[in-house]
Chain A
Amino acid sequence: MKTENNFFKKLFAKNYRSRTISFLIIIVGYIAVEALMMSGNLSSMFQSLLVPVTCYIVAAIGLNLNVGVSGELNLGQAGFMCIGAFSGVCVSGALAPFISNGIVRLLLAIIVGAALAALFGMIIGIPVLKLQGDYLAIVTLAFGEIIKSLINNMYIGFDSEGFQFSFVENKLHLGPGGKALISGPMGATGTERISTFMIGVLLILAALFIVYNLMYSRSGRAIMACRDNRIAAESVGIHVANTKMLAFVVSASLAGAAGALYGLNYSTLVPSKFGFNLSILILVYVVLGGLGNMTGTIISTIVLVLLPELLRGLADYRMIIYAVILIITMILTNNDTFKGWIAKLKNSLSFKKQPKEAEAHE
């Protein structure tokens, strides 16, 4: 009995509180959604959002590691999702004759998607992480657009001889029983939809597990050190490039995993879906949820995905209202008076917390 008590105490101790809350949100959310679905109270429109929302959350958790924890503005997250999505579609399509179980294929697709995105992250990271600030941002944007553009010109098919590739023009000559997996700008068509909400939820839990355990470890501290003060980090023997690379690659691989899940959720998928706008969308989730705050990322992603749907009653005005909410949120969260209110509200709510010692600058 006593150990159990300690266990719960530990779950809500300083270092663990935030991760416990994020795990709880996901698990409670999952149970609630399943309950709603079973009782038939979830509209088909909301059901269709379930898998995409898990994808966005996973990609956003990754991006938060990159932008919030590591402090590098990355405008190319959609590019890594694109790699994951189309490699996932290829893996699942090619394995379909051999493995009939959708879940197994989905998991394999996610692993391959994550691995390929990580590989590209590493290749791209070498030049990108030499740059700083806005220059780094534009290069990630550029890479994102290049990836989209390359896949937009790629033709991949699978037949008895294995994978077949062609570039710019469709020169695939597939044997009998062969299947075109990616057809350039038409993207992937006829994909078997094997993604499930449950796998999405498990993927979020895995992403949280990896990111939190990294953040509160030697590497996590090093990543934050490089963000706070690059020169000081080097002076205590931290290899800044390698450290930033770790955050970048983990972020890319989570986007790849999310992309694979996303790609296998639709029967048709075009590469142009993974453009700059998607990168920005995910960045908005991260910034609104709070830099470095994974719980915030989860909440803001859910809210922002649902918001336009909830505003659907307002028909044509919904996206304008969405934009205005975005602007007002940014202005309010940077307003000192408003921040003061929130702090007061927090203090009055957290009666258990010890008062933080705050010492002013001399």
Chain B
Amino acid sequence: MSENKTPVLEVIDLGIDFGGLTAVNDFSLKVFNEEIVGLIGPNGAGKTTVFNMLTKVYQPSRGSIKFLGQDTAKMTVVDMNKAGVARTFQNIRLFSNLSVIDNVKIGMHNSISYNNADAIFRIKKFHDEESRIQNEAMELLKIFELDDKAEIIAGNLPYGAQRRLEIARAMATKPKLLLLDEPAAGMNPQETQELMTMIRFVRDHFKIAVLLIEHDMKLVMGICERITVLNYGMMLAEGTPEEIQANPHVIKAYLGE
């Protein structure tokens, strides 16, 4: 976490307006490699909007996003993923009619090297690549404890497993930065505990940075090294979990006057 390293993600004065209303303004953030950063704030503070700007689902109105030192102004959602940003969604977005393993294999789409003609004529390269991603997908599923459910239709998974599958699918794109939008929502305390272990393991094993939105303070304070607080689209505070917990502005925003 040394400050002289170049950050994986560097956001400067980011802002977005929707029909004249400013949803997020002057948002700045740095995320360094192998760091877990939390983005918290009351409902409607603009956290998901920040994620949508970081992944270019929304084009920001102002400010800049640098990823791995590269300006992303002209990049699309697809470009951002190819560059190394992967995400999950607050309202789970799985390919719910497809099997669990196919969900992960779809995440590997851009790492597969055969083309359509190879696939139609089933040349050796096709079979080699398919068996490679089959193995890689199973390995990923093992990490997220989904390997025994590989052939189940994703939409039939229980809620907690769906959240884990979304992370597995995001990881299949081999990202440098993983954005998790309320990964513990709807999970019971035990599942949340397991999720924390998984997130830490993923960070250590794949050596990536994680930025997460979460309401579960136990999770946020438990695994985040740094936290940024957002309120009414503005940054309220920034610091270590201890600093945030002691910050009077944050307490006021969460508890009211």
Contact = CB atoms under 8 A, between A and B. Distances in A.
Interface in B109-127: 109-110, 112, 114, 116, 119-122, 126
Contact of B81 (A228, A236, A362): A236
B126 to A, nearest CB: 7
A359 B156 contact: yes
Nearest to B158: A362
Contact of B98 (A224, A238, A357, A362): A224
B249 interface: no
Nearest to B114: A218
Nearest to B120: A213
Nearest to A239: B78
Nearest to A238: B109
A202 to B, nearest CB: 16
B94 A229 contact: yes
A358 B109 contact: no
B106 A236 contact: yes
B105 interface: yes
A359 B169 CA distance: 20
Contacts of A236: 81, 86, 106-107, 109, 169-170, 172-173
B158 A214 contact: no
A220 to B, nearest CB: 8
A219 interface: yes
Interface size class of B (residues with CB under 8 A): 35 or more
B119 A225 contact: no
Interface string B164-175: 000001101100
Contacts of B186: 362
A82 to B, nearest CB: 26
Interface string A230-244: 011111111100000
B254 interface: no
Nearest to B126: A217
Contacts of B121: 213
Contacts of B158: 359-362
Interface residues of A, number: 32
A178 to B, nearest CB: 40
Contact of A235 (B87, B97, B116): B87
B238 to A, nearest CB: 27
A173 to B, nearest CB: 44
Given A221-B106, A224-B97, A239-B78, A209 B120 contact: yes
Given A236-B86, A236-B173, A231 B93 contact: yes
A165 B5 CA distance: 68
Contacts, number: 110
A232 B95 contact: yes
A155 B55 CA distance: 52
Contact of B152 (A217, A221, A229, A357): A357
B68 interface: no
A235 B120 CA distance: 26
Interface string B131-175: 000000000000000000101100011111000000001101100
B34 interface: no
B96 A228 contact: yes
B89 interface: yes
A222 B156 contact: no
Contacts of B160: 362
A14 B150 CA distance: 14
B156 A358 contact: yes
Contacts of A209: 120
Nearest to B186: A362
B76 to A, nearest CB: 8
Contacts of A218: 109, 112, 114, 119, 129
Given A229-B93, A235-B87, 9 more contacts: A217-B114, A224-B95, A228-B95, A228-B97, A234-B81, A235-B86, A236-B173, A246-B116, A361-B156
30 contacts: A14-B151, A209-B120, A210-B120, A213-B120, A214-B116, A214-B119, A217-B126, A218-B114, A219-B119, A221-B98, A222-B106, A222-B109, A224-B98, A225-B109, A228-B97, A228-B98, A231-B57, A232-B93, A232-B95, A232-B169, A235-B57, A235-B81, A235-B87, A236-B172, A237-B109, A237-B110, A357-B149, A359-B157, A362-B158, A362-B159
Interface of B: 55, 57, 76-78, 81-82, 86-87, 89, 93-98, 102, 105-107, 109-110, 112, 114, 116, 119-122, 126, 129-130, 149, 151-152, 156-160, 169-170, 172-173, 186
